[in-house]
């Protein structure tokens, strides 16, 4: 049983990493828009930079695809690889936590893009949707409100990431040591991926949300 669990834990993390690594933004840019998002704005392949590079429609498609990647990674783990019926609640939750971190890592360090990628917010949101739908909608609403009030998507993303373990601990269905610890690690990971945004926010040089492609040449340091 321990060997079987360890193998399935590794497989679930590997599957999550590979799902996260699918470069939706890059594929959209290459085959539809003729733009490489890595050459625009922050150079990230997440939904925000995709919207800056290719327009809101491409940003929405990328966001939905990234949410789907996060959701699918945890769904496959929970229902097919490390099920509660076979391994028990605690082991399943540790596997879900590993899948959460792995899908963000795959998205941020995609081997198909020479280990570059996005910053994991939408992917983490999809994972929350798989765990407990209200978590996803609370984080989405928080992100939208902070972005609209401040004009900075990065600030909203950072605060939502920091709130992740708190929200997991707030709901009885996700209030467990494996999930809260994994949520803390995942949240800090997403904050670390936003380290350049943090530096620009502190310096007062962070760009506010804009759909004007002419303003989004890759000049962010």
Q: What is the tens place of the pLDDT at every residue in 163-218? A: 999 999 999 999 999 999 999 999 999 999 999 999 999 999 998 876 555 454 44
Is residue 217 one of the residues assigned to a domain?
A: no
Which pLDDT score is estimated for 220? 37
H/E stretch holding 20 reads helix 2-21
Task: Quote the percentage of the chain above a pLDDT of 90.
Answer: 86
Is residue 109 one of the residues assigned to a domain?
A: yes
Is residue 220 one of the residues assigned to a domain?
A: no
Counted domains in the chain: 1
Contact (CB, 8 A) for 153 and 209: yes
**Better-scored residue on pLDDT, 168 or 51:** 168
Least confident window among 32-46, 63-77, 122-136: 32-46
The neighbouring-strand residues paired with 217 are: 40
How does pLDDT run across 68-91, given as a tens digit for each residue? 999 999 999 999 999 999 999 999
Is residue 54 one of the residues assigned to a domain?
A: yes
Which pLDDT score is estimated for 217? 47
Least confident window among 2-6, 71-75, 135-139, 178-182: 2-6
**How far is Cα 26 from Cα 85, in angstroms, rounded to an integer?**
39
pTM of the model: 0.92
Which domain, by its residues, includes 146?
2-212
Is residue 221 one of the residues assigned to a domain?
A: no
Rounded mean pLDDT, 57-61? 95
């Amino acid at each position: 049983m321990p060997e079987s669990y360890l193998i399935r834990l590794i497989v679930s993390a590997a599957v999550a990493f590979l799902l996260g690594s699918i470069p939706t933004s890059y594929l959209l840019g290459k085959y539809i828009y003729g733009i490489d998002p890595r050459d625009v704005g922050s150079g990230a392949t997440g939904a925000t930079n995709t919207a800056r590079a290719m327009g809101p429609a491409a940003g929405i498609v990328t966001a939905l695809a990234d949410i789907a990647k996060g959701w699918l990674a945890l769904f496959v783990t929970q229902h097919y690889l490390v099920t509660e019926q076979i391994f028990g609640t605690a082991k399943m939750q540790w596997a879900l936590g590993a899948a959460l971190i792995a899908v963000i890592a795959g998205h941020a360090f995609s081997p198909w893009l020479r280990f570059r990628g996005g910053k994991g917010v939408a992917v983490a949101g999809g994972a929350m949707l798989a765990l407990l739908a209200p978590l996803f909608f609370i984080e989405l609403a928080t992100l939208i409100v902070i972005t609209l009030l401040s004009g900075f998507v990065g600030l909203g993303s950072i605060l939502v990431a920091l709130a992740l373990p708190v929200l997991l601990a707030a709901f009885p269905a996700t209030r467990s040591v494996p999930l809260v610890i994994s949520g803390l690690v995942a949240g800090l990971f997403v904050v670390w991926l936003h380290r350049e945004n943090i530096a620009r926010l502190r310096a007062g040089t962070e760009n506010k949300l804009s759909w004007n492609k002419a303003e989004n040449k890759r000049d962010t340091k």
